[in-house]
Amino acid sequence: MPEKTGTRGYRGKKAEIKGKKRRKDIFGAIRILFLFGFILFVFLGIGALVLVYPCIKDVPEFDPHLLKPDVTSYIFDDSGKEIANLYYDQNRVEIPLESIPLHVQKAFIAIEDERFYDHFGVDPVAILRALASNIKNRNWTDQGGSTITQQIIKTAFLTPQKTYRRKIQEAWLALKMERQYSKSEILEIYLNQIPFAQGAYGIEAASTTYFNKPAQELTLAEAALLATIPRSPNYYSPFVNFEAAKQRQSLVLQNMHRLGFISHREMTAARNEEIILGEPPTRQYEYPYFVDYVLHHELINILTSLPQYKTREEAYEAVYNMGLKIYTTLNTNAQKETENVLNNESLYPQNLRVDMDLLKEMMKDKSLNSYPKEVLGDEGLLQPQAAAVVANPATGEILALVGGREYSKGNQSLRYLSRRQPGSAIKPIAVYAPAMEENLITPGSIIDDAPFIRGSWAPENFDRRFRGLVTIREALVPSLNVAAVKTFAQLTPEIGLSYLKQMGVSSIQDGDYNLATAIGGMTQGISPLDMAQAYAVLANQGIKVNLHTIKRIEDRSGQILFEQRSEPQSILSPQTAYMITDILKDVVRRGTAARLRVGRPVAAKTGTTSDNRDAYLVAYTPDLVVSFWMGHDIPTTGKISGGSGTTIPFMNAIISSVLKDKEPTDFSRPSGVTGPVSICSKSGLRPGPFCPPETITSEIFPSSQVPQGTCNLHMEMGICTISGLLAGEHCSPQSIESQVFLLRPEYEVTDERWRGAAGRVPEDASQQPPEEHCQGHHLQPGPGTDGFAVSLLDQPPRAYLWWSEREDIQEYFIYRKSDHEEEFTLLRNLPGNANQFLDGNITAGNTYTYKLAAITTEGVRLETAGQVLIAPDAPGSVRENNSEQENNGNEQENGGDDENAQDEEDLIHRQHESRRQR
């Protein structure tokens, strides 16, 4: 018994020892495993550090400014309506998260990052899922489990390359972003950045592109369809692969239902909803002739003038990427109407057939097949082109710009910027307005339209006629060239072009400072835009307001970068502008623009080059200025049949349509303008007793320049009816007949130096008196070389005075005293080429004494002794007393002269240079 007990105790003790040893082995194994795990963790940590550190040590700096994506810029018309969007590759419109419906937000979260609100920038579950998928597909970079935050980081800071280095950097920066931005801010950035193909970036641009509506109006079905696109935009775009997009839309709706975002009923309804897509977008915009000018000319010039944009490249970058809002002056009605007019083929002159071989030779650098069909028609029929500028002269706002007929790929030229020869359209702005402003002329001033030559250049009028003495009005209304050149010579090209530049013409060259510029012979010409600017000064009472198309520019946050501020400049006085305008209204009534009929007061001026290759018409009302040009892109290939007359139907249509809803107004007359005043159209002075009725006209004047003297060019003279010459001393009274003649200045006679026929003279030269006195009738010779004689003519009684001519006399003065008067009175002043005078204001039975005085070209006063004439009750004898002219040696007042006579003499002395030509 004892032995058994001992055996069991031994065995139990042995088993206990074995149990303790087993437990010890297990704990040892655990310690070894823990140690191995720790060592592995350390090695893995070191390995991870070795792998990760090189990736994050050169990670880009987290710059919040880079989170701002490129944003589309917009152009608006004068009513604030969008007319164009501008972007390079990314059409993007930023909107706040509050403007994006909740179901739209959840659609993107459901398909792109369903744990968006739970993770801290990196989603470990999504990473493990992506890792498993990559292992299964044996592609370690196929999926990356990127969160919405990581997608933003990838777009803003990193490259699209699928590498673990980029994924590590992406995760690192995502963690940083989640610490600085709220989930709402991150989601807003994301929904404004993601690509949707078709150039659309961000949910607002996508909604507009695919459904023609803002994101705020998207349905659940439309939102789910858009949410499918960012995974692979070019594949899932509904415009490209509608069925694939619909299939993925179903997945989006299924995820939304699974996550509790929508009910089963909503999911089913959205799946069954018919999707109606809009038209695929194009990069074309309405009103391209206007927008192209805004974009590539005025806008870029404004931006480069701002301190933040130093180069044109930076300015264009801002236009296409920085979300600018450009508010313009475009009046869409005016633009449409003007485009329609210029596109109306029936208004253009008959086609001109040209030599195709010649045209091909001239266009070696262009393909005839790509040349605008609007210009080159079938079978070599050349079509003219046109351009128009429509603006408000008071505000400077350009309402419409049309650079040609139908805008197309082959026809995009902004012809309103092309410099073309202006022809006579330059006369009011370079010649007559400046000369009037310089007080050299008035509308009633006289200019001699007579043959003129300077060096070898002899300008001609369009009809090869010379009209003689005409008023400035009658020189401008029919657009006489010679009169314009003479006025320009008096003004000087330097002064005329100085005014032209101030009025807005930017194309003046050194070679333009010559007289040919007065009739449009310029080095480069003038653009229709500059022409509109210059004429706007006339329409706006002499005030220049710079023509412009941009009213305001705002940045993406609404801050104003630029605002147009009117800075009016006074170029011409209101009086000058009104008087020129009044003349140009006559151009419409009875001049070169006589067929212009728009149902309201309008002023206009035509301009045609001598070869009819360019035709201008500029017209204006108080509310509108329109500059219109017609011609050929290649000037030497064709002419315009009908000249400037072909431009009038266009102007009629443009003004009538643009102003159809505006009440007619007339140009207001400023103070300081007097008239109408009756004048003689040959002398520019008040009508005298001998001015023929047809020469008497009414004219307006500056109040300080109203003519005071009477006409001294129309003179009644005695003509010997036997010889047809001036009555001589010995012609019998019965043979003398009174006639009215014009004592006009001397003139040139055309010869081979003129392009027209030789021997031409001013038309009013026929109104001059004979040059010689009658020496017949076997009478004794008259007075000596310096003689002065007075004879009596009867029926009715008249005193006939005549004297010998002298070439050195500038002006004559005739004084008379009756036997009832104590002092002589100035009867008349006459030009130096006069040699007779007829006094019809005598009374029978009275005795009259006449005295002749003269001013020489050197300013010396000469005077004769008195000649006595008795007007008897019945025909009787006449006493005559001839004497030599006496030189008193000075210009002092003659003690015996009447004070009024001396005043008249002083006036003549001051004005004779500008009024008379020998």
Question: What does the alpha-carbon distance between residue 791 and residue 779 come to, in Å, rounded to a whole number?
Answer: 14
**Owner of token pair 């009513």:** 79
User: Per DSSP, what are the bridge partners of residue 607?
Assistant: 616
Return d(Cα 891, Cα 859) in angstroms, integer.
7
How far apart, in whole angstroms, are the C-alpha atoms of residue 569 and residue 581?
19
- The structure tokens listed for 116 are 């968006």
Q: Which residue has the tokens 């004297």?
A: 803
Tokens, residue 666: 């007339």
Which of these is catalytic: 73, 94, 112, 716? 112
Active site (annotated) includes residue 678: no
Q: Which residues contact 41 (CB under 8 A, 6 or more apart)?
A: none
850, 881 contact by CB (below 8 A): no
Q: For 309, which DSSP code? A: -
Select which of 424, 445, 527, 644 is catalytic.
424
Taking a C-beta distance cutoff of 8 angstroms, is the pair 195, 155 a contact? no
Give strand ranges (E) for 609-734.
Answer: 614-620, 625-631, 673-680, 696-702, 714-720
Pairing of the two strands 788-793 and 798-803: antiparallel
Q: How far is CA 339 from CA 287, 333, 402, 658, 823, in A?
A: 9, 10, 6, 11, 76
Q: Which residues contact 475 (CB under 8 A, 6 or more apart)?
A: 447, 449, 483, 484, 487
**375 half-sphere exposure, CB direction, 13 A CA radius:** 23
The pair of structure tokens assigned to 456 is 């070898």
| Bridge partner residues of 74 (DSSP) | 85, 325
First to last CA, the chain: 178
CA 853 from centre of chain: 58
Sign of the dihedral through C-alpha 232, 237, 243, 245: positive
Angle at 740 between CA 739 and CA 741, to 5 degrees: 115
Distance of alpha carbon 13 from alpha carbon 7, whole angstroms: 10
Query: 777, 480 in Cβ contact below 8 A?
Result: no
Task: Calculate the alpha carbon distances from 118 to 106, 111, 154, 179, 898 in Å.
Answer: 14, 15, 21, 14, 115
Nearest-Å Rg of the Cα atoms of the chain is 48
Nearest to 852 by CA among 819, 892, 793, 894: 894
Do the Cβ atoms of 449 and 468 come closer than 8 Å? Answer: yes
CB-based burial label for 97 (10 Å; 0-12, 13-18, 19+):
middle
* Cα–Cα dist 603/583, whole Å: 8
Tokens 């790509």 locate to 370
Cα–Cα distance for residue pair 442/436, rounded to 1 Å: 6
Query: What separation in angstroms does the CA of 430 have from each of 487, 489, 493, 519, 573?
Result: 10, 12, 9, 9, 15
Give the C-alpha distances (Å, rounded to integers) separating 517 from 368, 426, 430, 447, 576: 35, 8, 8, 18, 21
Distance CA 569, CA 536 (A): 12
Stated as kind and residue range, the H or E segment containing 156 is helix 148-157
Amino acid (one-letter) located at 844: A
Whole-angstrom Cα distance, residue 518 to residue 330? 34
Give the three-state DSSP class for 761.
coil
- Please say if 112 is a catalytic residue: yes
Known catalytic residues are 112, 424
